[in-house]
Chains A and B, each alone.
Chain A
Amino acid sequence: MSPASAILAALAIPTAGAVLIVACGRAPNLREAVTLASAGLLLATVAALVGPVLAGARPAVVLFDLLPGIPLAFEVEPLGMLFALVASGLWIVNSLYSIGYMRGNDEPHQTRFYACFALALAATMGVAFSANLLTLFGFYELLTLVTYPLVTHHGDDAARRGGRVYLGYLMVTSIVFLLPAIIATWALTGTTDFRPGGILAGAPLSNAALGGLLALYMFGIGKAALMPVHRWLPAAMVAPTPVSALLHAVAVVKAGVFVAVKVVVYVFGAEMLAGVRAVDWLPTVAGFTIVAASVVALRADNLKRRLAYSTVSQLSYVVLAAALLVPLSIVGAILHIATHAVGKITLFFAAGAIYTAAHKTEVSQLDGIGRRMPWTMAAFTVGALSLIGIPPAAGFFSKWYMVQGTAAAGNWVALAVIGVSTLLNAAYFLPIVYAAFFRPERVAPAHDHGEAPLASVAALVITAAATLVLPFFGSIPLALARAAAGP
């Protein structure tokens, strides 16, 4: 398969998967086989692109004009390559997990669930491979819309309210801020194509206008959950846990920070922003988000809510690192997209496994649960260590680059933010681990339970193992990150 057709196949496979899933709606085993097969095919297709991209090729497809002069076009560059690789790789594991979770909890509307999931992956691939802002915006909005039925899966009042916040925040930010920013970029430069070094260089923009445009972009990308546009993420936790795990720890939120990094690197260009005081607000806002969200996480008793706020905080690491505008920090930002993904998905898998097996949702209920669910809690521990940034877990390495980046940029405030946040991370994760393994059960559970269904446990063990071994196979993510960050 040529690289160009691989791009189209990456979009077509999950879409066709969704159609087949609906067609197989009455035969659950066949339906789940379709999901797993699509996920496997997708990963193989995406992986086939890695070689050419690392060799310096930029496979591209131009389909047809969406608007005069702006085509529906795709081009694979290293940043998008890494994002697509992470999302498609974790989809396989997540599908395995979903099967255990959805059957274990007897969830309704499973066909719709798997079909929307496949469509969400198609939209994610579109975001990852877009060659211009218009194409990107289309898939970005599509991702919001196809995940809405997943967020509101339960169809009750809580789901409807959560869905309102979810859709409200994401659509308001993208329509009111992101879209005008894109149109302004087009009006200023006559193009919306992503280009290394940026397209706005040389545009007639005052520094203040530059800062304003950057603000439109950064707050317009609601999926990056920069405060104060973060509230949709905790609201999305009403979804079944597999949705929270893959979409609201990986695909959707990473699409947000991915777009943020992409805009900084390929639309503005790091060189253009460097030294402009009018863009200094971005590291400040990102730093505030990191610390403030960690504090909220510390106080949250609901496990998924704590994980959600932890995600808000971790996403801003990426934005902060990208905003430092030095190559080392940008490498850190890009790596963090991958390392946080495997760590956080493990944590969500564990949260979902606890819910499936023990029907527990609050942190305060978890005393002694490590003895009943040793695999789950061991995996949870690995994920937590990765997020705190303790070697050899993957999270350490992205943090390492970020710390080096703060030094290279001479931004000591950013360094302090990362330090404080690391302590806060430890403060909200380690007590859970301690309670699970070292405290006795306070109340006997309503029913005697062990681990969650095998499929779910297998999934979380796989991602936990990936968190530990990723550093040893880290050359591919690192090479992609370096290629994207430039010399």
Chain B
Amino acid sequence: MLVIGMLRKAQSGAALLGIVGLAILISPTAADGSRIFLQVGNLTDILRQVSLIGIISLAMTFVILTGGIDLSVGSILALSTAVAAMGLTRAWQNAPYARHILLAIALAVAASALAGALNGAIVATTRIQPFIVTLASMIGVRGLAKWLTDNQNIDIGFGRDVAAEFAAVFREKAIAIGAYAVCAALFWAVLARTVFGRYVRAIGDNEKAAEYAGLPIGRTKIWVYTLSGLLSGVAGVLYAAENHQGNPNAGVAYELDAIAGVVIGGARLSGGRGSISGTIVGTLIMGILTNMLRLNNVDSNVEMMIKAVIIVLAVAVQRNSD
């Protein structure tokens, strides 16, 4: 169902197919003559590499649909890695491994959701522009993460302890990709099928009309930013496992990658237009592009320039079809 919806709705589906085709075409070949791009290991690498940004961009889609923006996701991710690492190394020393790990993850995700809820509460009650509110929390939450960790990375998983167990499990490709898939399915269902999802689209389409229709605008916005914080927290947990550390400097500029994925997927920054399927396609386009260029040994600075062109092109094409 999700896949069908994706193909039908995503205006950028054709672009995705084009990029995949190009990647196959120019892919270097392995010793046995097969194309490296198409190897299962490479394809799952792509999915794993986009999974963190992908998870963040799902909730970012909701935020952008309401006409808002969330610049604080990278900082919240850093907070989450720090809190998770602290929970694993400094608390609950006598708890069994499974419960200890769950508590640490829950604490990290809850702290992240709380930071998002604060964003949402300020946006909903003060009517300060979301850009400014989340710009402030991008700075403030980064400060909080650094203050909590005393500017230090907290290494995890280099011994034979609970942290090592955590890292061993959660750095698995299947876990990262699975988490992305589950979150995508949930967020797609929420947007397409629930009252909350309908409100999100309605508010972004015409907030004045939503007010006249008596919709719960404030409550909806608080939830949207809370979800954004929550998913940044989930991404932070995965980041900590993958990199074996709680890192208060993690996730810098992640907000921009997430926003890029959303807009390539066809969303308008002024709200009311965008979809989960489009965002997934947008995220995949960026991921495949990175992979394709790296397989062909393209300089990473050139890669950034090419990405810039792709972003503008993708959005320009959608303007015309609007």
A pairs with B: no
